[in-house]
Amino acid sequence: MWTEGESEGLQTLGIVVVVCSSLKLLHYLGLIDLSDDKIEDELEMTTVCHRPEGLEQLEAQTNFTKRELQVLYRGFKNECPSGVVNEETFKQIYAQFFPHGDASMYAHYLFNAFDTAQNGSVKFEDFVMALSILLRGTVHEKLRWTFNLYDINKDGCINKEEMMDIVKAIYDMMGKYTYPVLKEDAPRQHVEVFFQKMDKNKDGVVTLDEFIESCQEDDNIMRSLQLFENVM
């Protein structure tokens, strides 16, 4: 049985891992490390295979200034000369972040959340849009992005099987050394706690509205969404 404190922690674990691990990835790719070096007036795009949209369009679609977008692109270009990132790269990066666990499935789910076009590659624009939401989006935007990660089959709701897959992926990624006291059924208990809290009408699935409403009622989740607002 979970104590009250443990239950509250489990309810926010997924949200915190989404934000923290996503930002670790973005930092690794050079997207949240602003430098004081001279910034080029225009993007240098001659060495990449994929050329991002114009600055004006990205500036209009995100919460970043032109200067910030220039710095972000320079970092992205340095780490990803081809201009795109594939799923295998995600898996390699997360394997470095979590050497004591198996991060492959979580990296797979996260890649699908970034790959909004579902074409097997993530472009600079995809990263910038996600970063804009995670760092400077509204509460609704951040929660909608997280919901989309959990909604594996993209049918507009989260069922217990999907949530179990995500929770197992998170526990596998963290590794046995991080959670030595957890029993084998810990992921299932986590899912039950999630649904007890989120499934307002008890129909066996969690809709976007239920997810947002429940998260907004949880002070821990709200605080976790604010942790990285001043990263840039």
Q: What is the pLDDT of residues 109-152, one digit of tens each?
A: 999 998 988 899 988 899 889 889 988 899 999 999 999 999 99
In one letter, which amino acid is 54? G
Is the pLDDT at 156 greater than 80, yes or no?
yes
Residues whose CB is less than 8 angstroms from the CB of residue 216 and which lie 6 or more positions away in sequence, other chains included: 139, 143, 222
Q: What is the pLDDT of residues 16-64, one digit of tens each?
A: 456 556 655 655 555 544 344 433 433 433 334 555 657 788 999 999 9
Cα–Cα distance, 122 to 149 (Å, whole number): 15
Assign 190 to helix, strand or coil.
helix
Q: What is the pLDDT of residues 68-119, one digit of tens each?
A: 888 888 877 777 788 888 899 888 888 887 888 899 999 999 999 989 888 9
Is the pLDDT at 9 greater than 50, yes or no?
no
CA terminus-to-terminus distance, the chain: 41
Element (H, E) at 122: strand 122-123
Element (H, E) at 170: helix 160-174
Q: Residue 157: its pLDDT value, please? A: 97
Assign 159 to helix, strand or coil.
strand
Q: Residue 84: its pLDDT value, please? A: 86
Cα–Cα distance, 104 to 98 (Å, whole number): 10
Handedness of CA 143, 149, 153, 159 (dihedral sign): negative
Q: Residue 97: its pLDDT value, please? A: 79
Residue 204: how many CB atoms within 10 A of its CB?
10
